[in-house]
Amino acid sequence: MKCKKCGFENKDKAKFCTKCGSSLNQLPADDNRNSNNSSKYVIVVLIIVIIVLVAAIGYLAFNISSNSLQDRDIESDNTFDSIDDDSQGDESDDGAKTKMISSSDSSESLNDKSWMSIGSYSGSGSGSQSITVPPGKIKVELSAFPIKNYATNHLYVSGSNGESGGVDWGSTSAVETRSDSFTYESSSDELFTIDYYETVSWEVKFYIYQ
Protein backbone atom coordinates (compact mmCIF):
# COMPACT_ATOMS: atom_id res chain seq x y z
CA MET A 1 0.00 0.00 0.00
CA LYS A 2 1.50 3.29 -1.15
CA CYS A 3 1.61 6.14 1.35
CA LYS A 4 -0.28 9.14 -0.01
CA LYS A 5 1.93 11.51 1.94
CA CYS A 6 5.47 10.37 1.24
CA GLY A 7 4.95 7.79 -1.51
CA PHE A 8 6.64 4.93 0.36
CA GLU A 9 5.49 1.42 -0.55
CA ASN A 10 4.15 -0.41 2.52
CA LYS A 11 2.69 -3.86 3.10
CA ASP A 12 -0.93 -4.35 1.99
CA LYS A 13 -2.26 -4.77 5.54
CA ALA A 14 -0.27 -1.91 7.03
CA LYS A 15 -2.28 0.77 8.79
CA PHE A 16 0.54 3.28 9.18
CA CYS A 17 3.40 4.24 6.85
CA THR A 18 6.69 2.62 7.92
CA LYS A 19 8.62 5.66 6.76
CA CYS A 20 6.59 8.73 7.83
CA GLY A 21 4.06 7.18 10.24
CA SER A 22 1.00 8.60 8.44
CA SER A 23 -2.28 6.68 8.56
CA LEU A 24 -2.83 4.72 5.38
CA ASN A 25 -6.67 4.57 5.83
CA GLN A 26 -7.28 8.32 6.48
CA LEU A 27 -9.33 10.14 3.91
CA PRO A 28 -7.85 13.23 2.34
CA ALA A 29 -8.58 16.48 4.14
CA ASP A 30 -10.31 17.80 1.06
CA ASP A 31 -12.76 14.88 1.08
CA ASN A 32 -13.63 15.58 4.72
CA ARG A 33 -14.20 19.26 4.00
CA ASN A 34 -16.43 18.45 1.04
CA SER A 35 -18.47 16.08 3.19
CA ASN A 36 -18.87 18.70 5.95
CA ASN A 37 -19.82 21.42 3.46
CA SER A 38 -22.45 19.17 1.87
CA SER A 39 -24.02 18.54 5.28
CA LYS A 40 -24.13 22.28 6.01
CA TYR A 41 -25.82 22.98 2.66
CA VAL A 42 -28.48 20.34 3.36
CA ILE A 43 -29.21 21.85 6.80
CA VAL A 44 -29.48 25.40 5.37
CA VAL A 45 -31.88 24.22 2.65
CA LEU A 46 -34.06 22.43 5.22
CA ILE A 47 -34.22 25.55 7.42
CA ILE A 48 -35.27 27.71 4.45
CA VAL A 49 -38.01 25.23 3.49
CA ILE A 50 -39.35 25.20 7.09
CA ILE A 51 -39.44 29.03 7.24
CA VAL A 52 -41.34 29.22 3.93
CA LEU A 53 -43.90 26.64 5.13
CA VAL A 54 -44.46 28.45 8.45
CA ALA A 55 -44.95 31.79 6.65
CA ALA A 56 -47.46 30.25 4.23
CA ILE A 57 -49.46 28.66 7.06
CA GLY A 58 -49.50 31.96 8.99
CA TYR A 59 -50.70 33.89 5.93
CA LEU A 60 -53.56 31.46 5.31
CA ALA A 61 -54.61 31.52 8.98
CA PHE A 62 -54.63 35.34 8.99
CA ASN A 63 -56.84 35.51 5.87
CA ILE A 64 -59.31 32.98 7.29
CA SER A 65 -59.54 34.95 10.56
CA SER A 66 -60.07 38.28 8.75
CA ASN A 67 -62.87 36.86 6.58
CA SER A 68 -64.60 35.44 9.66
CA LEU A 69 -64.53 38.81 11.46
CA GLN A 70 -65.95 40.62 8.40
CA ASP A 71 -68.84 38.15 8.21
CA ARG A 72 -69.72 38.74 11.86
CA ASP A 73 -69.73 42.53 11.42
CA ILE A 74 -72.91 42.41 9.28
CA GLU A 75 -75.87 43.47 11.42
CA SER A 76 -79.50 44.38 10.95
CA ASP A 77 -80.44 48.07 11.04
CA ASN A 78 -83.80 47.39 12.69
CA THR A 79 -84.11 49.24 16.01
CA PHE A 80 -86.64 49.80 18.71
CA ASP A 81 -88.52 53.08 18.39
CA SER A 82 -90.17 55.27 21.00
CA ILE A 83 -93.61 56.86 20.65
CA ASP A 84 -95.26 60.08 21.84
CA ASP A 85 -92.69 62.57 20.51
CA ASP A 86 -94.65 65.44 22.01
CA SER A 87 -93.80 64.18 25.49
CA GLN A 88 -90.14 65.20 25.05
CA GLY A 89 -88.83 68.67 25.79
CA ASP A 90 -89.37 71.14 28.65
CA GLU A 91 -91.58 70.17 31.56
CA SER A 92 -93.18 72.53 34.08
CA ASP A 93 -92.64 72.06 37.83
CA ASP A 94 -94.37 68.93 39.20
CA GLY A 95 -95.61 68.07 35.67
CA ALA A 96 -95.65 64.41 34.67
CA LYS A 97 -96.15 62.55 31.41
CA THR A 98 -96.12 58.85 30.61
CA LYS A 99 -94.53 57.33 27.52
CA MET A 100 -94.26 53.78 26.22
CA ILE A 101 -91.17 52.37 24.52
CA SER A 102 -92.18 49.76 21.94
CA SER A 103 -90.08 47.23 20.04
CA SER A 104 -90.41 46.14 16.40
CA ASP A 105 -89.80 42.55 15.33
CA SER A 106 -86.69 42.06 13.24
CA SER A 107 -87.06 40.01 10.06
CA GLU A 108 -83.33 39.32 9.88
CA SER A 109 -81.31 37.25 12.30
CA LEU A 110 -78.33 39.01 13.92
CA ASN A 111 -74.91 37.43 13.80
CA ASP A 112 -73.76 39.32 16.91
CA LYS A 113 -75.53 40.96 19.80
CA SER A 114 -75.00 44.67 20.48
CA TRP A 115 -76.52 47.59 22.38
CA MET A 116 -79.40 49.07 20.34
CA SER A 117 -81.16 52.34 21.17
CA ILE A 118 -84.81 52.03 22.23
CA GLY A 119 -85.39 55.58 23.46
CA SER A 120 -83.72 58.95 23.98
CA TYR A 121 -85.22 61.70 26.15
CA SER A 122 -84.00 65.23 26.90
CA GLY A 123 -85.17 68.55 28.23
CA SER A 124 -84.42 71.32 30.72
CA GLY A 125 -85.83 73.01 33.78
CA SER A 126 -87.61 71.00 36.47
CA GLY A 127 -90.17 68.21 36.27
CA SER A 128 -90.60 64.46 35.81
CA GLN A 129 -91.53 61.87 33.19
CA SER A 130 -92.63 58.23 33.38
CA ILE A 131 -91.43 55.70 30.78
CA THR A 132 -92.30 52.03 30.29
CA VAL A 133 -89.26 49.99 29.24
CA PRO A 134 -89.65 46.55 27.55
CA PRO A 135 -88.11 43.36 29.02
CA GLY A 136 -84.55 42.33 28.27
CA LYS A 137 -81.02 43.34 29.15
CA ILE A 138 -81.23 47.13 29.45
CA LYS A 139 -78.60 49.87 29.78
CA VAL A 140 -79.46 53.42 30.91
CA GLU A 141 -77.15 56.39 30.29
CA LEU A 142 -77.88 59.85 31.73
CA SER A 143 -76.23 63.28 31.97
CA ALA A 144 -77.23 66.80 33.03
CA PHE A 145 -75.93 70.36 33.48
CA PRO A 146 -77.31 72.52 36.35
CA ILE A 147 -78.66 76.06 36.06
CA LYS A 148 -76.66 77.09 39.11
CA ASN A 149 -75.25 75.30 42.13
CA TYR A 150 -78.16 75.37 44.59
CA ALA A 151 -77.07 72.10 46.24
CA THR A 152 -80.42 70.64 45.12
CA ASN A 153 -79.91 70.43 41.36
CA HIS A 154 -80.30 66.84 40.20
CA LEU A 155 -81.30 64.27 37.56
CA TYR A 156 -82.54 60.93 38.89
CA VAL A 157 -83.78 57.86 36.98
CA SER A 158 -85.48 55.15 39.06
CA GLY A 159 -87.40 52.00 38.07
CA SER A 160 -90.20 49.94 39.54
CA ASN A 161 -87.70 47.06 39.86
CA GLY A 162 -85.51 49.07 42.26
CA GLU A 163 -82.84 49.92 39.69
CA SER A 164 -81.75 53.56 39.69
CA GLY A 165 -79.03 56.04 38.82
CA GLY A 166 -78.54 59.77 38.82
CA VAL A 167 -76.38 62.85 39.30
CA ASP A 168 -76.60 65.81 41.68
CA TRP A 169 -74.51 68.72 42.92
CA GLY A 170 -73.51 69.67 46.45
CA SER A 171 -73.09 73.18 47.84
CA THR A 172 -69.38 73.19 46.99
CA SER A 173 -69.58 71.22 43.72
CA ALA A 174 -68.39 72.72 40.44
CA VAL A 175 -71.16 73.75 38.05
CA GLU A 176 -70.44 71.23 35.31
CA THR A 177 -71.95 68.36 33.34
CA ARG A 178 -72.19 65.08 35.22
CA SER A 179 -73.00 61.61 33.88
CA ASP A 180 -74.02 58.18 35.17
CA SER A 181 -75.12 54.80 33.78
CA PHE A 182 -76.40 51.40 34.95
CA THR A 183 -77.60 48.09 33.48
CA TYR A 184 -80.12 45.46 34.53
CA GLU A 185 -82.07 42.46 33.20
CA SER A 186 -85.81 41.96 33.45
CA SER A 187 -88.34 39.46 32.08
CA SER A 188 -91.19 41.97 32.08
CA ASP A 189 -91.93 45.64 31.35
CA GLU A 190 -90.56 48.08 33.92
CA LEU A 191 -91.82 51.61 34.70
CA PHE A 192 -89.06 54.21 35.05
CA THR A 193 -89.39 57.78 36.34
CA ILE A 194 -87.10 60.58 35.22
CA ASP A 195 -86.95 63.33 37.84
CA TYR A 196 -84.99 66.53 37.18
CA TYR A 197 -84.63 69.85 39.01
CA GLU A 198 -83.05 73.22 38.06
CA THR A 199 -81.24 71.98 34.93
CA VAL A 200 -79.99 73.85 31.88
CA SER A 201 -80.16 70.58 29.97
CA TRP A 202 -80.52 66.87 30.66
CA GLU A 203 -80.59 63.65 28.59
CA VAL A 204 -81.50 60.02 29.30
CA LYS A 205 -80.89 57.17 26.81
CA PHE A 206 -82.18 53.59 26.97
CA TYR A 207 -80.49 50.65 25.15
CA ILE A 208 -81.37 46.98 24.81
CA TYR A 209 -78.77 44.22 24.25
CA GLN A 210 -79.74 41.89 21.44
Q: Would strands 98-100 and 178-186 be described as parallel, antiparallel, or unpaired?
A: unpaired
Q: Residue 90: what pLDDT?
A: 46
Q: Give the tens place of pLDDT for each residue, 155-208.
A: 999 999 999 999 999 888 899 999 999 999 999 999 999 999 999 999 999 999
Domain 85-209 has CATH 2.60.120: yes
Q: Is the pLDDT of residue 69 over 80?
A: no
CA distance 121 to 201: 11
87-144 confidence digits (pLDDT tens): 444 444 444 444 555 554 444 445 689 999 999 999 999 999 999 999 999 999 999 9
**pLDDT value, residue 76:** 46
The pLDDT confidence band at residue 82, using thresholds 50, 70 and 90, is very low
The pLDDT, as a whole number, for residue 185 is 96
Residue 46 has pLDDT above 80, yes or no: yes
Cα–Cα distance, 175 to 197 (Å, whole number):
14
- Return the domain boundaries, the chain: 1-73, 85-209
Q: What is the pLDDT of residue 72?
A: 63
Three-state secondary structure of the chain: CECCCCCCECCCCCCECCCCCCECCCCCHHHHHHHHHHHHHHHHHHHHHHHHHHHHHHHHHHHHHHHHHHHHCCCCCCCCCECCHHHCCCECCCCCCEEEECCCCCCCCCCCCCEEEEEEEEEEEEEEEEEEECCEEEEEEEEEEECCCCCCCEEEEEECCCCEEEEECCCCCCCCCEEEEEEEEECCCEEEEEEEEEEEEEEEEEEEEC
How are beta strands 190-209 and 154-159 bridged, if at all?
antiparallel
Beta bridge partners of 38: none
pTM listed for this prediction? 0.49
Higher pLDDT, 69 or 199: 199
Q: Which residue has the higher pLDDT, 14 or 124?
A: 124
Predicted confidence at residue 18, as pLDDT, reads 84
Res 181: pLDDT? 97
- Who's near 185: CB < 8 A, 6+ residues apart? 136, 137, 138
